[in-house]
Amino acid sequence: MTPNTYRNPRRMALAMDMLSNTTLCVKAISARLGFEHTPAFSSMFRKLSGSTPSEIVRRYRPHTN
């Protein structure tokens, strides 16, 4: 098992939690998880979860007016 095989699913689980339960933007979350480029984060997130980070925000984050 390579380090990334172990690390990436864990980072995406953290991302899912942060996307759903914080007010941080996708760019800030990707940076906190160690991604230099937000598109790389979004691509990996979609590959592992089946949804884009923005879809998760729209689906699970409480709406504020």
Tell me if residue 32 falls in helix, strand or coil: helix
Query: How far is residue 50's CA from residue 48's CA, in Å, rounded to a whole number?
Result: 6
Domains of the chain from N-terminus onward: 3-55 (1.10.10.60)
pLDDT digit of tens for each residue in the chain (65 aa)?
Answer: 788 788 889 999 999 999 999 999 999 999 999 999 999 999 999 999 999 999 999 999 877 65
Query: How far is residue 38's CA from residue 21's CA, in Å, rounded to a whole number?
Result: 19
